[in-house]
Each structure stands twice: as C-alpha cells, then as structure tokens.
Structure 1
Amino acid sequence: MGGVVTRTTFQLILIKPTHYDDDGYPITWLRSHIPSNTLAALYGLGADCRQRQVLGADVDIVIKPFDETNTRVRADRIMRDLKRSGDKALICLVGVQSNQFPRATDLARQFIKGGFSVAMGGFHAAGCLSMLPVIPPEIQAAMDMGVSIYAGEAEEGRLDEVLLDAWNGTLKPLYNYMNDLPGIEAAPTPHLPPAALARNEGRKSSFDLGRGCPFQCSFCTIINVQGRKSRFRTPDDLEAIVRENYKQGITSFFITDDNMARNKHWEAFFDRLIELRENEGICVSLIIQVDTQCHRIPNFIHKARWAGVYRVFIGLENVNPDNLLAAKKRQNKITEYRKMLQAWHTSGASTWAGYILGFPGDTRESILRDMEIIKKELPLDILELFMLTPLPGSEDHQTLWKQGVWMDPDLNKYDLHHRVVHHPKMSDAEYEQTYRDAWRTYYTPEHIETVAKRHGSIPGRNPAEPAQFMTMFKIMFEAEGVHPLEGGVVRMKYRRDRRYGMPIESVGVFHWKLALETVRKLKIYGRLAWQGWRIGQKVKNDPKRHEYTDLALQPVMDDDMDKLSLFADTAGGGAAVNKRRGEDLARAKIAAQQNQRLAAAE
C-alpha cells in the first residue's frame, strides 16, 4: 500500500497598492471606479500556475488578490493568518506606478519585518530600468531592504520562475525582463474572483487585448515599458475572457489597450463580440481608449458601438499644435478633432478626453483661453486635466535626469495631479493655481448644461447622464481633493495607516479632524449633486431638446476653419489649417491626374 501524500499550501498574495493623499493617508474607497487590469492578469497567471502544479503535485497554490483602492490592506492581519496556517507565501506588490511606490515600499517594510518574502513590479521599476543607466536610489533601497524587484511582464512561464524561487527560498534581488517582452496570444485568461470584483463600482472588470505602441510621445511611459512593437491577443482569447467573466455575472469591462484603434485585430474583436450578442445573447458594455484618428478607419465607430462600446477615452492631449509637436505627438491633427468628436457624439457614445497642461509654451492666459475654445467648439463630454509630468520611464524624465534638472524627489506626487517640476513661464504658485482654475473653468454649471443639451438632442440619449458624470468629476476635485480618475464611492480613512515617517495622530485629534472634514465634504456633495441633478432634469424635460444645436455640433466646413478660434488663435493652428489644405490640394491634383489617364486610356 502506498503512503498517504501530505499536501502543503503555498499562498500567493497579490496586492495592488494605492497611493497617499496630501495628509499621508492611503486613498481607499468603499467602491472604486476603475478596476485593476494588472491584478486580473496576474490572478489569471497564478491560476494557470496552480492548474499546471508548477510547485509540484502535492502543493496547493492559494491566490488572494487585494486592490487597495477599494480594500484596506492590513499587513498585520495577513501575516497573522499566514503564521497561524504555517503556509509558505510570497507577497507580490503588483502594477506599482511611480506615485504608488512609497506606499508599496511601506507595505513591503511591514511584511519583510515579519519574515515574509516580498516581490514588487510595475511601471515604476520597469520604466526606470529601461530608461536610466543606473538603478535609482529608491529601488536600490527597496532591494537592500530585501524586496525582489521585477521588471517586465510575467507571461510565458516567468511567474513560474518567481514562484519556484520563492518556494525554494532563493528569490533573486532583481528579475529584469525588459529586453525580452513576451507574446500574449493564448496567454492565461485575466480574471478575478467574484468577491474582488464586487468591490468595483458597477461590477466592472478589465483586460488588455494588446500591449505596446508605435508612437513616440515624449511624456509617455508605455512605449518604454511595453515596447514600441505591438503584441496582441486573439479573438478566441477575447471570447474566453468574456465567457469566464460572464459566468460570474460580469458584463462590463474596461479594455486597457492604450489605443484600441491601432490593434490590428480590432475588427475581428468587435465581430466576435457582435456574434456573441446576436447568437447567444451575451451582451457586454465596453470602455475603450482610442486615438484622434480612429474616425478615419472605415466602420470602426459603427462596429465599436454595435459591439457594446458606450464610452471612449481619447488622448486629445492639447489643442495647440506647437505643444503637440514639442511632445512628439505628431499623430494628433487638430484639424480632425471636431470631425472625430462629432462622429462619436452622433453614434451616441460618451467621449472622455485626456488633456495636458504645462507644456513649455503654455501661459495662464493661453490655458484658460484654450478651455473656453474647447467648451465652445468641440462636442466633448468629460475633460480629464493633467499636469505635464516627467514620469519615470518616459523620455521627458530621462532628458531631465541627464540634464540634472530639479524634479520633486517625492514620488507620491507623480500622479499627474501635483506639480513636480518648475515651469519656464509660470511661477510654481501660478502654475498650480492655473491648473485648479482650468478645472473650474471647464466644469461650470453653464457648460454642464451645454453638454447635457448636446446629448439631449440625440433621440434615445439621457441628458441627465453626462450631467451626472460631470458633477461627479467636479465633486471629486472640489470635495475630495483627488484627481477624479482616482475617485470612488465613500472615502475610507484609517488612523494607523499613515505614511511611514509621519506621526500617528491621537484618537481624539484624528476623529475630530475627520468629523470636520466629513461635514465640509457633505456640504459640497449636497450642493453640487443637487445642482447636477437639477441641470439633468431641466434638459431631460425640455420638450424642444431634440432641436438643440450649437457651434460644436455644426458640420465641419474646411473653408470656414479660419473663422474658428481653435485654428485662428495660435500660430500653430493657422499652420495646421494651411498644411491640411495643401494636403487636400495635392490629393485632388493626384485624383485629377488619375482621371485624365483613365479617360485617355478609354
């Protein structure tokens, strides 16, 4: 008779850290808005390792995911449970961006002090190691503390290696795969367990269908972390992801591709989703990211809407061609902005655009002027304002690092919402005030009503919806003091979770401050929510709302471009119009020559 096989357990703890607010408390919500793709991808890879029994047939791998944007991470409780069970474990701090690195390090410090193995990966480590000739001091300090740094992606068996090393007690100080990015075709399906997804507002999940980008934007980290060569999943991979989540009741997704319109399989992906909708009744709701040229791709917008896309993030970045050129954002043509936004608007999709403030040529006057131009001439819904930030891993950061230019040493501020460099034309105070005023300039009650009216003019659209989202953005900025993309539902704050090195306040002081803060926030929430609701209802109940039009909705006539402030108020705008007209004349000339040749041949 064979002996009884003794089974052991290995715990893989996956933690997606948040970052600290200005008072040093982790930004955590009861429900978060944006799900973590990295957490879903690594959970799927971990589940694949478990199925393949990479640690041996007698070892069970238990995976526990934590997204700190919606879950308080109690290192003491996690360690107590591990010590009680006696299981071996690896604590992985995943998807760590630069602004999350201080929080990740603080968590790692607690786990290492407790005697547990810790690995950390994400854009900060990968970006720094790909763009800098030396290991930055904060990464070296983490390694000296005992953290294993992982740079790169974990597909093609690379997670296997880390798990085996952790199991054998031989974790390396550094795993650097930046020169060998894996393929993602037929990779394990990204997913999360129901309990984790339930903490996302609206029960959303996320996944990617492609990685990498061929463009050269100097402020971007993606091209240096995920590579300039694009890599793709397949339509079969997409179907597997949708079906896996559908079994859990998840049908709403954020596709995290930096630019879905440049994914070579976009049409096959949309066709597969349309087939699932038509043949099996599996309907999904999608948020995607696209570029400003996507409307020129035949059928892209039509099929996107048919497949379930209801919201698009667009990298508008700026309306001044000189700024776009300075940032190497050559693919953005401001002469196409109105056509592109009108195409999405007509389709009924909601448009959310990223917009960067603080280019070298910007002034307070030019920024506030551009806000007014956008409001008047572009049919855009949500504008997401960011400070131009030299993110570690970007060309901008590399350039300033080589030149020895001052950059704020506090990585917690590298969230695109805080100033971390000096501006050449504005003082620090003026730059920061202009950023705040730009938010307030765009999100006025009058403009919220205008956007609601634009949606109300489309049959079947609910104008209260954009009013609600714009109000939510305004509330996050005004009441919570965070960038709206970091927002959520009900902020959670815990006294003992304060940033390492900052004093832990007494119970009385902490709760007194929290009470005053809560009262202040509730007043802002109440006032703005009531304001947004009234605007939405006013437009919704207007019997003539389908007759509404304004300049932003009017057809784009090339001959009238000079009359628009979008093109007339900057030297770059005028040059863009002249270049566009020259290209049109050249195309017309070529077409005429072709017609002449055809006529002669006949």
Structure 2
Amino acid sequence: MDLRDFHFIMIKPTHYDDDGYPIQWLRSAIPSNTLASLNGLAEAARERNALGEGVHIHLHAYDETNKRVMPGKIARDIKKRGGKALIALVGVQSNQFPRAADLARKFMAEGVQTAIGGFHVSGCISMLDEMPAELVELQDEGVSYFAGEAEDRRLDQVFRDAWDSDLKPLYNFMADLPSLGGEPTPILPSKHIQFTAGSHSSFDLGRGCPYQCSFCTIINVQGRKSRFRSADDLERIIRDNYEQGINRFFITDDNFARNREWEPLFDRLIALREKENFDIKFIIQVDTLCHRIENFIEKATRAGVNRVFIGLENINPDNLLAAKKRQNKITEYREMLQKWRNHGATTYAGYIIGFPGDTKEAVLRDVEIIKKELPLDLLEFFYLTPLPGSEDHKVLLSKNTWMDPDLNKYDLNHRVSHHPKMTDTEWEEAYREAWESYYSDEHIETVLRRAAAHPKGRPGNKLFLMMWFKLMVQHEGVHPLEGGYFRLKFRRDRRSGLPIEHPLVFYPKYFWQIVSKHWASVAAVWRVHRIYKKVKASPDRRSYSDIAIAPMDKASEEDLAMIKETRGGTEAVAKSARDAALRKAGKERAKASASA
C-alpha cells in the first residue's frame, strides 16, 4: 500500500432505458470524445508531476456504454491500493445526469471524492439565473461540479484540491474558454477502443459556433467564437492513435466547414494518406452550405472523409427561421448532397420533428418528399427538445411552460414538452412513423439502387448502415446514436427509486428479449439482404436514375415538391435568385475593378 498514490477515475456515464436499466452493449458504436480528451489532459498532468515529485498519478477510464461501472468494487480497489482518489463523471449530458447522480451518490457513500462535469452542468450555469434543484441537491450532498473546459492545465488545480481532500463545490471556467492549440492529444488506450465497433476513436479540432440556433446548447457551452487546433496538433493526434492501431476517427466538431483552417488540416491528412500511405478514414459534421466552399468537398474526400453528417434539420424554411437556423437554404440541399455523393461519401442528416409549424400530416409528407427528391443515405430523426443550456429551454422556463421533469428523457428520442398544433399522441406517432417510412424495405431498396448506380456508391456499406439504424429503432428501442451490439443488462444496476427485480422475473425476461430481438433482426437482415443481392445482380444497375440523383436545371428544380409544397419554399427560391444575382454582380464589379 502506497499512500503517495493518487487515482483519477474518469467515467463517461450512459443513461437509463425506459425500464430503468443502463443502456450498455458488448460493443458500443460511438467512442467518447470527452473521455479521450480528458484522458489526454490527465496523462499530460501526470507527465509533468502535477502533484509534485513522489506522488504517483494513476489513470482509469470507463465508458459505461460498453463497460460496467461498479462503485463498490472500484472503491474497494482504491482502498486496497492505498492513496487518495477522485471520481470524475465526465461529459454528462442532461439525459445522463440521473445516471451520473446515482453513481455519484454510491461513490460518496463509499467515501470517495466525486465531481461531475459536462454539458448539463455547463449549460445550466451558462444560461440560468439559478442552479436547478437537481444540481443544488447533489451539491449539498458533497458532489463537486466542473463547468467549462479542462485545457490550460486546469486539471492541476482540481488534482491538488482532491489530494488535499478540499474539493471546491464548483469550478467555473465558463467565462474563460481556453485556446486549443498545442494542447495534449485526445487519446484512449487501445484496450478501451476494442469495446467500440472497430478501431474507432474521436477527437475535436475546433469548438464553438457562430450561429444562433435556438435549440442548440453548443453555442452557450462552447461559445460563439470558434477556437481551433493546428495542423501540427492534428498530425500528432493521428500519429499517436495510429501507433496503437486506431485508424478510424469521428471528428466531433459541430461544423467542420466553418473551421477557417480546414484546408491546411485537410492538406496534412492528404499528405499522410498519399505520401506515407496511412490507412485513415474520418466522419465529419458540416452545414448545408459546405459545397459553396471551393475545393472543400474534393479535399475532404481525398483526406479520407467517407461519411459526413449534415445538419439538415428540416425542409420547411419557416421552421428553420423559427429556430434561428437562417444558414440553411433548402434550395441548396439537393446540389450539396449530389456533390458529396459524386465524391463517394455516405451522407447522414439530422431531421427535427416538432417545430411550431409542424403537423403530423406535414411531417410525414415532408419525409416522403425527402425520400423522393434528396439523395440522402441515412436520416436520423429527433424530437425538438428544450435541452437545458439552450435558448428554447430558457424561454420555456421563463414562461413556466410544462417540460417533463425527468431529465433521463432528454435524449432527443422522447417527447418532453407539448406541441402548439399536435396532440402528444400525434407528435409521438409522427416521430415513430417517420422512422418507419424512411427505413421501409422499399426505401432501403431505393437507396441501394442509387448507390449501385455510382462507381463510388458502396451499396454494401449503405446496407449495413441502414440496417443498423432500422434495427436499433425497431428492435432495441434506442436511437441509433446510442446503439451497439448485444445489449447488456445487470439486475442490480437499476435506476434508484425502482425496485430490484426478482431473479426469476429478471433473467427469463432478459433471455426472452435477447432471443426475440435477435430472431427479428436476423429475419429483417435476411429479407433486406435478398433485396441487396437483387440490386447488385441487376445488369442495368449503372443506368438507374431518379429525381434525387438526376442532373436538373434551376428551372426544373423549382418544380420540385420540396419547393412547391412546403411552406416558404417559393420565398426561398426567390431569395436564392436574389442572392445569386448579388453574388454575380459582386464578381463582375470585382472583375471590372481588377481590369481598371
């Protein structure tokens, strides 16, 4: 036993399913960027002896989506090894706060210092005049909070306070967002990455967003002034991860297209791929105007971007305006998606259901329009959710408007407020039927045909991804972003306040769920795989075309249902024409000035 040991235990909590069990998998899909970032910062603190010579800092990381967290066992291990410890529940979103609170109370009961950080804490402190009751209650029990970002050696202060058994109730850095340049590499040991789907990890190259979307928490947590890592930082991140066999990455920047250093960053990745033969691939997130940036899509795909998530959000201009998402232009959607398709990238898009102008009929109509007229591969649906830390939440709170008190439901996959036009039932039906419509066998076949028609289409990859989304929603009852392979449940890990089920109830039910879900999944995969084989075997698959992928002039595009049948579409076309005329006039003036 060494009393000069300090244990820093980083835990990224999951959240509970509707039955009160943590959502966990044998293999989860998306690695935690927060966990990788904090682990990298903690490794740097250890290397510089943040607690002085002679104190050994031990780091332990848990991603609860794929690793069971047992507070009692962890506490016993700490006591056995000796020294002091700090439990850090990191990256806690609003829907994860109930789970984080349950874990925190268990660790505190074991006598282990505990702190919570993440978007829920930071968002509430950023936007609300008073700390919410759930935060106050837990703080009164001795849990500390960390608001803001941990770069700029801020962990050193927290480590010293924990070593002195004198944690502050709140570490608030919201008014001082740090630079990212030169900061330590976001990295997790490969032993943690093996529990995700493939050799994937994640990191960010920029934080902050200049836009003002009212449903977004990022602008109020990470700020509206963008901060970036350098190309040298990026290369170090890639090399450090590549050395331990990690070569697939999710760049978590909310909008990579607004990173002013995008070109040097892509150029560095291109050099690694083309000059040093690095086998690296990336998923990035962009806005709907990225195709206007000269060479952006071309360089992105050369750099290894093979999947791109696009903040489409809606095809109704009035809804976009109501949410202050003025940057989205529905007249640009089709051209942008076609350009990504032509360069071989798989396109994802998020679509929000529940804007003030929505009705069930309008939502389902718009989904049909998207299926027919936009060459999207994957579409993810979300409830419009007043997330703590967003302007929407603050407005509803100020008006004393009902919002569901159960934070566990704030995962964008549950309805947590009422709608001005739809009943609660209609809203829930619109959400459920939107998923069913887009991931119907008929539309899966359409997407596969579009992919098979293009030399870079990768229909097999499209099949896998579409079936993943379909099965997570239909058979696992979770959003695909929370999905994984083989659901794990542990009887005693149930949410506080709910009874622990008797073994003769829990285990037969769990076994039946495993069997029935896998049987249904196998049947669905077999059925759709036959469609895939038919598409692949079609001798004329290269000649397939439809409205979404066919070239079209501007006059014809104005006849699209997306323009004609959605409210505000005509005005959007007119504005697009005016903007194009102004851009043309500006170019002509610049040309004339240069000639003079």
Q: Do the structures match in fold with TM over 0.5?
A: yes
* Cα distance, 1:80 vs structure 2: 1.2
> Could you tell me how far 1:115 is from its partner in structure 2?
0.3
Match of 1:371 in 2: 367
2:480 equivalent in structure 1: 484
- Which of residues 207, 221, 224 is equivalent to 2:220? 224
- Counterpart of 1:284 in structure 2 is 280
Note the C-alpha offset of 1:263. Answer: 0.6
- Give the aligned partner of residue 439 of structure 2: 443
Tell me which residue corresponds to 1:397.
393
CA contact (8 A) 2:39 2:61 kept: yes
Question: What's the CA shift for 1:280?
Answer: 1.8
User: Match for residue 303 of structure 2?
Assistant: 307
Q: Does 1:569 align with 2:565?
A: yes
Show the counterpart of 1:346: 342
| Matched ranges for 1:87-98 at <5 A | 87-98=83-94
Aligned to 2:183: 187
Q: Return the alpha-carbon distance in structure 2 between the equivalents of residues 585 and 192 of structure 1.
A: 50
Change (3 A) 1:374 1:553: same
Distance change (3 Å), C-alpha of 1:45 and 1:597: closer
Structure 2 CA distance for partners of 1:246 and 1:360, relative to 1, 3 Å = same
Contact 2:450 2:457 in 1 (8 A): no
Give CA-to-partner distance per residue, 1:36-94, whole Å, 9 cap, x none: 00000000000001000011110111100000011111111111111111221000000
After TM superposition, give the deviation of residue 594 of structure 1 in Å: 7.1
Structure 1 window deviating more from structure 2 (333-342 vs 583-592): it is 583-592
Matched, 1:162 2:158: yes
1:332: Cα distance to partner?
A: 0.4
Where 1:461 maps in the other structure, the secondary structure is coil
Name the residue aligned to 1:508: 504
**Contact 2:3 2:82 survives alignment (8 Å):** no
Distance 1:585 1:270, change over 3 A: closer
Question: How far 1:7 moved relative to its partner?
Answer: 7.4
The match for 1:146 is 142
Q: Distance in 1 between matches of 2:59 and 2:583?
A: 58
Contact 2:179 2:227 in 1 (8 A): yes
The answer on whether the counterparts of 2:342 and 2:456 sit within 8 Å (CA) in structure 1 is no
Secondary structure, aligned partner of 1:187: coil
The whole-number CA distance in structure 2 between the counterparts of 1:334 and 1:286 is 26
39-48 or 589-598: which moved more? 589-598
SS for the counterpart of 1:552 is: coil
Structure 2 residue aligned with 1:209? 205
Aligned-residue offset at 1:523: 2.6
For the pair 1:386 / 2:382, whether they are aligned, the reply is yes
Q: CA deviation at 1:591?
A: 5.7
Aligned partners of 1:104, 1:591: CA distance in 2, in Å? Answer: 55
Contact persistence 1:30–1:490 (CA under 8 A): yes
2:558 is paired with a residue whose SS is helix
Shift in CA distance, 308/592, structure 1 to aligned 2, threshold 3 Å:
closer
Q: 1:160 to 1:590 in 2, by over 3 A?
A: closer
Cα–Cα, structure 1 residues 7 and 80, in superposed 2: closer, same or farther, change >3 Å?
closer
| Distance change in 2, residues 1:596/1:191 (3 Å) | closer
Q: How many residues align?
A: 595
Could you tell me whether the CA contact under 8 Å between 1:218 and 1:395 is conserved in 2? yes
The SS at the match of 1:551 is: coil
Select the residue among 26, 48, 62 that pairs with 2:58: 62
For the pair 1:266 / 2:262, whether they are aligned, the reply is: yes
Q: Distance in 1 between matches of 2:593 and 2:511?
A: 80
- Does 2:19 match 1:23? yes
Find the counterpart in structure 1 of residue 4 from structure 2. Answer: 8
Given the alignment, which residue of 53, 60, 75 partners 1:79? 75
Aligned runs of 1:493-504 on 2, under 5 Å?
Answer: 493-504=489-500
Kept in 2: contact 1:478–1:524 (CA 8 A)? no
Q: What is the RMSD of the two structures over their aligned residues, measured on CA atoms?
A: 1.4
Q: In the aligned structure 1, how far is the partner of 2:322 from the partner of 2:523?
A: 41
String of CA shifts for 1:156-177, please: whole Å, max 9, x gaps.
Answer: 1111100100000110011111
Among candidates 405, 409, 415, match of residue 413 of structure 1 = 409
Check whether the contact 2:341–2:457 (CA below 8 A) recurs between aligned residues. no
State whether residues 288 and 312 of structure 2, in contact with CA within 8 Å, keep that contact through their aligned partners in structure 1.
Answer: yes
Specify the code of the residue in structure 1 equivalent to 2:15: H
Asked if the contact 1:7–1:58 (Cα under 8 Å) also holds between the matched residues in 2, the reply is no
Q: TM-score, normalising length from structure 2?
A: 0.98
Structure 2: how far apart are the matches of 1:277 and 1:21? Answer: 41
Deviation at 1:283, TM superposition (A): 2.5
Of the three residues 236, 241, 247, the one matched with 1:251 is 247
Write the distance in 1 (CA, Å) between the matches of 2:459 and 2:260: 34
- Equivalent pair of 2:40/2:185 in contact (CA under 8 Å): yes
What's the counterpart of residue 585 of structure 1? 581
Alpha-carbon deviation of 1:587?
A: 4.1
1:357 has 2:360 as partner: no
Distance in 2 of aligned mates of 1:472 and 1:91: 34
| CA deviation profile, 1:445-477 (whole Å, cap 9, x unmatched) | 111011111111111433122122111111000
CA contact (8 A) 1:464 1:539 kept: no
Residue 596 and residue 509 in structure 1: after superposition, are their counterparts in 2 closer, same or farther (change >3 A)?
closer
Note if contact 1:92-1:120 (Cα within 8 Å) is conserved in structure 2.
yes
How far does residue 598 in structure 1 lie from its aligned partner after superposition? Answer: 8.7
Runs of 5+ unmatched residues, structure 2? none
Question: Aligned AA for 1:373?
Answer: I
Alpha-carbon distance between aligned partners in 2 of 1:277 and 1:515, rounded to the nearest angstrom: 46
Deviations 1:466-515 (A, max 9, x none): 12211111100010000111000110011000000100000000012112
Partner-residue secondary structure (3-state), 1:553 = coil
